[in-house]
Structure 1
Amino acid sequence: MTKTNNNKNTSELILDTAQAIVQQYGFNGFSYSHIAEKVGIRNASIHYYFPNKEDLGEALIKRYLRNFQQFVAGIDAEIPNNLEKLRKFILLYSGPVQDYCACLSVMLSTDLATLSGKVQVGLSQFFTANLAWLERVLDEGRREGQLSFEGAADVQAHQFLAALQGAQLLSRSFHDISKYEKITEGLISALA
C-alpha cells in the first residue's frame, strides 16, 4: 500500500471515528484523546491530519454533505416515484436511530453556538441541500400526482425535515425506535 493510500485510510478512519463519537456525545463531548484511543494512534497523528478540532469539524461536515449529495443522486437515479424517494430518504435518517444516536447534523446543531464559523456555514449548506432536494421531490411528486399536500412545497420540505430530526431526538430520548417509526409513517401517510 502506498503512503498516500495509507494517509487517506487513516484520515478516513479518524473521520469515521469522530463522526460516531459526535453522533453519540456531541461535538463538545470529545477530545482528540478519545479518537486516538478508539483508532489506536497517538494524538499527534490526528493533529497531522486535522491540526485543530475546528479543522476536524469542517472536514466532518464537508464529508457529510458530499455523502448526502451522493446518496440523493443515487435515489434520483434509481427511483422514479417521488413517494418512494421520500421513503428512501427516511431510511437515511433512520440509520443513527438504530444505535439511539442522532445524525451528525442534528448533533452539530445542538452545539451550534460553540462551533467555528466554517462549521456553521457547512452545517447551513448541508441543511440547504436537504431542503432543496426535499422541495424538488415534493413539488414533482405533487405535479405528477404521486403526492398530495396543501401549501407550498418549501414549507412542506421544512416540516418534513424538522419532523425527521425531531423523530431522531425522541427516539434517542426514549431509547425507543418505534417513536421514529410512528412519526415517519405519519409523514408518509399524510402525503400519500
Structure 2
Amino acid sequence: MNKNKNTAEVILDTAQSIVQEHGFNGFSYAHIAKQVGIRTASIHYYFPNKEDLGEALIERYHRNFISFIAQIDAETGNNLEKLRKFILLYSDPVKHYCTCMGVMLSTDLASLSGKTQEGIAQLFSSNLEWLKRVLDQGRSEGHLNFTGSTDVLAHQFLASLQGAQLLARSFRDQNRFHMIAEGLISALI
C-alpha cells in the first residue's frame, strides 16, 4: 500500500480502477482487498457497504472533475483549447481500454443507490454546463464556429466522447476515440 495515501484513498483508487474496467457490479470487496493487500474488514471500516463505496466514488470523481475544469479555465482563455484539454480528460481511460467512471457507473445504473444515481446525474450536468459555457463563449469570441443550440451541441459533444470511449474499448483501438475527438474539434473551426 502507498504510505503517502491514507487507506480510504487507496481503497477508492483501487475501486475506481476496477469499476472503470469491470463495472460496479463486476467486483466485490475481496477483489479490492486482494489488490490493496488488506482484509475486507478494513474496507468495511471505511465503507460499511458497497452502496457507501459507490457514493464515495462518484462524489470524489465529481470533485476531481470540477478541479480539472477549473484548471482548464485557469490555464487558457481560448475556448477551442479548453475543448481540446477536455477531450484529454476523456482520452485518459482509453489508454487502458477502459471508460470514465460516469459511463461505467451508468451501465449499472439500475442497481446503484439513489444517491449514487443522483451523483452520476450531477456529474453529467457539470460536464454539460461547462461545455455549454465554453461553447457559448467560444462562439461569442470567434474561437468556435457553429450554428444551432449550444445545449444540443454540448449534449452531442459529451455523448460523442463517451461513445468514442466505448468504441475504442470494444475494438481495442484507441484510434477510434481519437478519430471521433478530432471530428468534434474539426466541426467547430
Q: TM-score, normalised by structure 1?
A: 0.96
Mapped to 2, the partners of 1:99 and 1:9 lie a distance apart of 25
Q: Which residue of 1 aligns with 2:74?
A: 77
Identify the match of residue 13 of structure 1 among 10, 13, 24: 10
Which residue of the other structure, out of 162, 182, 185, is the alignment partner of 1:185? 182
Q: Deviations over 1:139-180 (max 9, x none)?
A: 000000000111111110000000000000000000000000
Residue type at the aligned position of 2:131? L
Amino acid at match of 1:174: F
Instruction: After TM superposition, give the deviation of residue 8 of structure 1 in Å.
Output: 6.3
Identical residues among aligned pairs (%): 72
- Residue of structure 1 aligned with 2:47, choices 44, 47, 50: 50
Instruction: Tell me, in whole angstroms, the C-alpha distance in 2 between the residues paired with 1:50 and 1:149.
Output: 46
2:123 is the counterpart of 1:87: no
Matches within 5 A, 1:125-144: 125-144=122-141
Deviation at 1:100, TM superposition (A): 0.3
How far apart are residue 7 of structure 1 and its match?
A: 11
Could you say which residue in structure 2 is the equivalent of 1:159?
156
Instruction: Please give the alpha-carbon distance, in whole angstroms, between the structure 2 residues aligned to 1:53 and 1:175.
Output: 30
Please give the alpha-carbon distance, in whole angstroms, between the structure 2 residues aligned to 1:34 and 1:79. Answer: 41
Cα distance in 2, alignment partners of residues 84 and 128 from structure 1: 21
Q: Are positions 1:32 and 2:29 aligned together? A: yes
In 2, distance between residues paired with 1:102 and 1:70?
Answer: 19
TM-score (structure 2 length as normaliser): 0.97
Which whole-Å deviations, capped at 9, do the CAs of 1:82-133 have from their partners, x for residues lacking one? Answer: 0000000000000000000001000001001111100000000000000000
The amino acid across from 1:108 in the alignment is: L
> What is the Cα-based RMSD across aligned positions, in Å?
1.1
Q: Write out the 4+ residue segments of structure 1 that deviate beyond 4 Å after TM superposition.
A: none
Give the Cα–Cα distance (whole angstroms) in 2 for the partners of residues 130 and 61 of structure 1.
14
Q: Which runs of 5+ in 2 are unaligned?
A: none
For 1:49-77, what per-residue CA distance to the aligned partner results, in whole angstroms no more than 9, with x for missing partners? 00000000000000000000000000001
The one-letter code of the counterpart of 1:172 is: R
| SS, match of residue 187 in structure 2 | helix
- Residue identity opposite 1:184 in structure 2: A
